[in-house]
């Protein structure tokens, strides 16, 4: 970079305004010396250098018994953040899980009320559904946030059939189902069932 800058300056500063090959040749000799001493040092960590068995060893390691290599230390899990902003961030662990749980409860409740009373989703909301919605939202959000503040993730507790991935997918389908139910009832003007 310095050479290119110096070359450009010499071209621009030349009295004739043209390229003088003598300046470039001298500049290259200044910055690019041949056979300049260059030191390379390897700082790699890992396996020690293995000796060639055909070369006789001068050490007394043959007389000492070889100990088996110790197992590597256990890999520590990265610490999870328990900050409120990190938990509720767009890519955090809480938003999709909480919204999915609320959608699962809402979809089942909407279908149950439709079957029992014959009211569509909009009638359910206008007949006191807002209070139930706010109460359920507060309860499920609080219940979902407490383990996250303690550093416990749903992935660590999921085993067998009921996994955290299954919960996420069920929540996604419930969100789609709730929106589809409301849209279908709006278009048809009545209940789905």
Say if CB 104 and CB 174 are below 8 A apart. Answer: yes
Distance CA 13, CA 26 (A): 15
Confidence of residue 139 (pLDDT cuts 50, 70, 90): very high
Say if CB 96 and CB 165 are below 8 A apart. Answer: no
Say if CB 155 and CB 164 are below 8 A apart. Answer: yes
Say if CB 119 and CB 113 are below 8 A apart. Answer: yes
Q: What is the pTM of this model?
A: 0.56
pLDDT in tens, 9-56: 544 455 554 444 455 555 555 555 566 566 666 666 665 555 555 555
**Within 10 Å of residue 106's Cβ, how many Cβ atoms?**
22
pLDDT in tens, 44-90: 666 555 555 555 555 554 455 576 777 776 665 656 677 888 888 88
Say if CB 97 and CB 169 are below 8 A apart. Answer: no
Burial profile 137-160: b = 16 or more Cβ within 10 angstroms, e = fewer: beebbeebeeebeeeeebeeeeee
């Amino acid at each position: 970079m310095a050479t290119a800058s110096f070359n450009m300056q010499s071209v621009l500063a030349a009295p004739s305004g043209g390229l003088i090959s003598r300046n470039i040749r001298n500049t290259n000799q200044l910055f690019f010396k041949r056979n300049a001493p260059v030191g390379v040092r390897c700082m790699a960590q890992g396996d020690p250098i293995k000796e060639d068995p055909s070369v006789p060893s001068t050490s007394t390691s043959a007389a000492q018994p070889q100990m088996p290599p110790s197992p590597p230390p256990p890999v520590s899990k990265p610490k999870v953040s328990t900050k409120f902003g990190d938990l509720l961030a767009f890519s955090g662990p809480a938003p999709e899980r909480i919204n999915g749980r609320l959608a699962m409860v809402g979809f089942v409740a909407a279908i149950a009320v439709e079957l029992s009373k014959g009211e569509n989703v909009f009638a359910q909301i206008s007949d006191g559904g807002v209070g139930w919605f706010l109460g359920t939202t507060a309860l499920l959000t609080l219940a979902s946030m407490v383990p996250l503040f303690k550093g416990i993730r749903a992935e660590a507790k999921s085993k067998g059939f009921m996994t955290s991935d299954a919960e996420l997918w069920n929540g996604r389908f419930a969100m789609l189902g709730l929106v589809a139910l409301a849209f279908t009832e709006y278009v048809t003007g009545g209940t789905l069932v």
